[in-house]
A and B are shown apart, each in its own frame.
Chain A
Amino acid sequence: MANSSKPKVAVWKFASCDGCQLSLLDCEDELLAITQEIKIANFPEASRAVIKGPYDLSLVEGSITTPHDMTRIQEIRRLSKVLITIGACATSGGIQALRNFKDINEFISIVYASPEFISTLDKSTPISTHVKVDFELRGCPINKMQLVEVISAFLSNRKPNTPEHSTCVECKRKGTVCVMVGKGTMCLGPVTHAGCDALCPTYNRGCYGCFGPKENPNTDSLAKWLISNGKTSDEMVRAFRSFNAGSDAFCKESQVNEEKD
């Protein structure tokens, strides 16, 4: 592909830990092939060279937590033909969405020596709350093979293969013995979006829900079952209030259990 016709790709960061965008650099074996097919136009983690927009594809990491970011995302959307969010922060507000359940001013007064310099929003929100998002890639962090798949799909003008079914399907296809049924381990797999290749259950841990809710998640039934098997409402609040605490389904379930507690 001639250099000039390569799609221009920009990577943007909002409130996040950088882990998702670093997944791009983690694509060691595929990285060379990726850079052959796309032109990295803006990616501060990889290069200081910045090419001006517009961009064919913007990969957006992080959530919106400040008034400044609220305006910045509008500008990025304006400059991007296709905008794809990467990771739990950009897709559901991230772990920082825990602030959504408390009074932000209390945090500011406790954490910062000079709170008057802090300009922040009372909620951490996903990118889709602010602008139109063309595709959301889930995960905390994202799965680098899914990122390669999404970029490949973008380049071939096809739908990416990132199924929205439960993590259980991945466990079963791998032959992993169900940790919940087999050991009584608390596991969010049955309500969690696939994508990590069932990483935790493969290593005998319950799913932590890093990829957020699956399509049609019945968190109510799962929580009730877990509670009837000895877990507490408080444990449910903590389970649903992690990296995807801001997602509708997990947020609602954590609130229901908080009221019970």
Chain B
Amino acid sequence: MGHACYRIFLKTVPYIMNKPEVIGKEGLNRLIQILTGMGYQVIGPTVRDEAIVYDSVHSIEDLPAGWTDEQEGGTYRLKKRSDEALFGYTLGPHSWKQFLHPPERRLWQAQKDSLGFDIVPEKLNNIKYAFLGVRSCELHAIAIQDKVFIQSPHTDLHYQSLRQNALFVAVNCGQAGNTCFCVSMQTGPKVEMGYDLVLTEILDDECHTFLISAGSDAGKTILKAVEAKPAGENEVKRAEEIIANTANQMGRTMATENIKELLYENVEHPAWEKIAGRCLSCANCTMVCPTCFCSTVEDVTDITGDHAERWQKWDSCFTMDFSSIHGGAVRNSTQSRYRQWMTHKLASWQDQFDTSGCVGCGRCITWCPVGIDLTREVAVIRESQPDQAGKLSGSGGQNENS
């Protein structure tokens, strides 16, 4: 199975399970101030344009207090909660990849001189990000991008620099969204790897606290400065209940058993053509996906022709240009593009990176303008298999209990 990599990752990165402690809202605010004081640019959830997006956060006042989201295939709406939860939403349209793997980046410049031209390389960005509110599925997505950009023969030095400087303050999900399926992908909802600090928000009666524990030496040092109180047994138990409750709320499920073989054996399945009837090949799913990493390079010259620049920009396997080689595009039809994306994400990704490319965040479902649901599409193919009929019926697609 593709999730073997996570086990390897866990082995190589020892997470010292520290005794959980407790902070209040003021403690969380102190944490933000401490991180800012340490030279981190704190990025966390905030409300903008009727959505929860990741942006600069200066105090807890910037966090989306009392907001949650309702999601379905092709729709996302912010809703008011009955409490003042700061992390009471599921996931917004953005992922952390926009910071670690920016949508547009200049790679180098060239200036013409009398002898030829001078290459001016781009300096590494040494900004220190502290990401606040990172969910378990998102940490898994970052671990996958690490494999692509760092643990590969062609290390992306810019990504590596940003990644190594970054600090992760994770949050255990207090609720699951309608398009969530991290349980199926074994990527959540409990934060178990890749974090420096982890929070669980506890809202009971008059009490609004956060269970906090460190997952790294850096996290330990910061936690000391936050001056948290030791957690009581009740708080630890409550936090476990919250996470278990979230795990039971998944809006979607995906049967991952033999998924690689299933997709490889069905490259000519009629489902692809049907999906192509709905798919807009607009590329939204790939742009919102926290693991999709494809980019294109564009060379530009100025009007004089003396100055040239090479830019890297997010690209998508849903565009015609993406597969254009000498003689034209290899994947002209939407059918071939959707098949490429889903088969890569769920099957050939396993061959390439020893992991699934999907973390079950559900963004591709929510942010597809016409609500195409990959869990449903996998289920359609699975249910059509002669030996699978009946055996796995009910798996995949929307959870009937939600």
Contact = CB atoms under 8 A, between A and B. Distances in A.
Interface of A: 30, 33-34, 36-37, 148-149, 151-153, 155-156, 158, 161, 163-166, 168-169, 172-178, 180-184, 187, 189-191, 204, 214-218, 220-222, 225
Contact of B50 (A169, A183, A220): A183
Q: Is the interface of B mostly helix, strand, loop or mixed?
A: loop
A214 B321 CA distance: 12
Interface residues of B, number: 48
B320 A148 contact: no
B301 interface: yes
Contacts of B281: 166, 216, 218
A169 B287 contact: yes
B304 A165 contact: no
Contacts of A180: 74, 369
A76 to B, nearest CB: 24
Nearest to B332: A216
28 contacts: A37-B305, A158-B299, A161-B300, A165-B283, A165-B320, A166-B280, A166-B283, A169-B287, A172-B283, A172-B287, A173-B104, A173-B287, A174-B103, A175-B94, A176-B49, A177-B93, A178-B93, A181-B75, A181-B369, A182-B50, A190-B369, A190-B370, A214-B282, A216-B333, A216-B334, A218-B334, A221-B370, A225-B371
Contact of A168 (B53, B98, B283, B366): B283
A153 B300 CA distance: 8
A34 B303 contact: yes
A166 B104 CA distance: 17
B284 A190 contact: yes
Contacts, number: 141
Q: Is the interface of A mostly helix, strand, loop or mixed?
A: helix
Contacts of B93: 177-178, 181-182
A177 B305 CA distance: 36
Given A181-B369, A218-B279, A152 B301 contact: yes
A203 to B, nearest CB: 10
A173 B74 contact: no
Nearest to B368: A181
Given A156-B301, A189-B282, A218-B281, A165 B370 contact: no
A215 B319 contact: yes
Given A166-B283, A169-B316, A222 B370 contact: yes
The winner among B48, B104, B283, B371 for most chain A CB atoms within 10 A is: B283
